[in-house]
Amino acid sequence: MYPLSRTDSRDTDSIQQRQKGELEYLVFPKLEETGVVEHLFTTRTGGVSNGIYSTMNLSFSRGDDLECVRENYRRIGEVLGTDPEHMVASKQTHTTNIHLVTKADAGNGITRPSVYDDIDGLATDIPGIALVTFYADCVPLYFVDPVHRAIGLAHSGWRGTVAGMGACMVRYMQEHFNSRPEELVAAIGPSICVDCYEVSEEVAEQFREGFPEDVLQPGKAPGKYQLDLWKANQSILLRVGIPPEHMAVTNVCTCHNPEYLFSHRASHGQRGNLAAFLMLKES
C-alpha cells in the first residue's frame, strides 16, 4: 500500500488504509465499530481516470471523461456493497444547508442530474442509500447515530467551519431522528493540516471569536496565519456534546500526500475530487 504520510505518529489507528484489488481507501475503525454503517474515504488509486484526474476522480463537473467517472463510482459501489443507483450526492457551495435524503433521491447527482443546489450536508435514516460528499482539502464530517440508526455527512471548509456546520448537522439529527449528541459517533476526515493551510488576515479574523485560541498559529509569511481546521471542527463537536471518546480525528493531510489524495493547494486547482461515502446497513 501507499506509504501514507501522517502528521502525528501517535494515533495511527484513528484512520486506516484498506485495499480491494488495486483500489485503496481509508476508513475510521471508530465508525466501523458502531456496526450499523458502511463507509470510506477515497484515495487517488484504483480508478480509471487519466492525467490530473488520475485515477479515482469522483467529480462529474471538473472536465473528466464522464464514462471514467461512472466506472469509478461502480468500483466504489463494489467496495461498499452497493451501486451508483443507490448513491446520493451533495451539491456543495460552502453553505450549512442540509438535505434529508429519502428513497426518491437515489441516484441524485450521480446517475442523474442533481435536483437541488447549495447542499453541503446530507442526512438519512434509510438503510442502503449511500451519502456522497466531495473533497480536495476541505474537511469531511461523518456522523453515526447507532441508537436511532441515522447518519449525517457534511462538507466543512473554512466557511462551513466558521458557520458551525458540524453543530448544524448535530442539531438537524436531533430534530429529525431524535439523536442525542452523547450517543453520536463522529469522524473528522482527511483534509488540509495546520502546517499546510496558510490563510489571510481576513480569514483569520473570523476565527478569533468562538474558537480555541490555538486554531490560529503564527504564519510562515508576514501578515499570514496557519489555520487548524481539524482542531476548529473538533471544538465545535465537543461543544455540542459529542464525547471525545466517540470522535476520531484525522492525522492524514491531503496536501502532505498529493500523489495519493487530491489537494487543491498542492495541485493549484488542477485536480479531481475525492469523496466521502457513508451508508446505513440494512438491519
Under the rule (CB under 5 A), what is the footprint of Zn ion?
A: 193, 196, 253, 255-256
Residue of minimal CB distance from Zn ion?
253
- Could you give the CA distance from residue 226 to residue 232 in angstroms, rounded to a whole number? 12
| Residue 136 per-residue DSSP state | S
- Minimum separation from the CB atom of position 200 to Zn ion (A): 18
**Closest alpha carbon to 24 in 14, 16, 33, 36:** 16
Smaller CB distance to Zn ion: residue 74 or 220? 220
Q: First CA to last CA across the chain, in angstroms? A: 33
- Minimum separation from the CB atom of position 34 to Zn ion (A): 28
Smaller CB distance to Zn ion: residue 193 or 229? 193
- Whether the Cβ atoms of residue 277 and residue 132 lie closer than 8 Å to each other: yes
Smaller CB distance to Zn ion: residue 49 or 191? 191
Peptide bond into 55 cis (omega under 30): yes
Helix 229-239 × helix 165-177 angle, to 10°: 30
- Minimum separation from the CB atom of position 190 to Zn ion (A): 10
**Residue 250, all three cell numbers:** 484525522
Smaller CB distance to Zn ion: residue 187 or 229? 229
- Minimum separation from the CB atom of position 195 to Zn ion (A): 5
Smaller CB distance to Zn ion: residue 36 or 192? 192
- Minimum separation from the CB atom of position 255 to Zn ion (A): 4
Smaller CB distance to Zn ion: residue 4 or 193? 193
How far are the Cα atoms of 42, 72, 100, 192, 251 from residue 229, in angstroms, in the given order? Answer: 20, 29, 26, 8, 12
Burial of 214 (0-12, 13-18, 19+ CB in 10 A): exposed
- Minimum separation from the CB atom of position 44 to Zn ion (A): 16
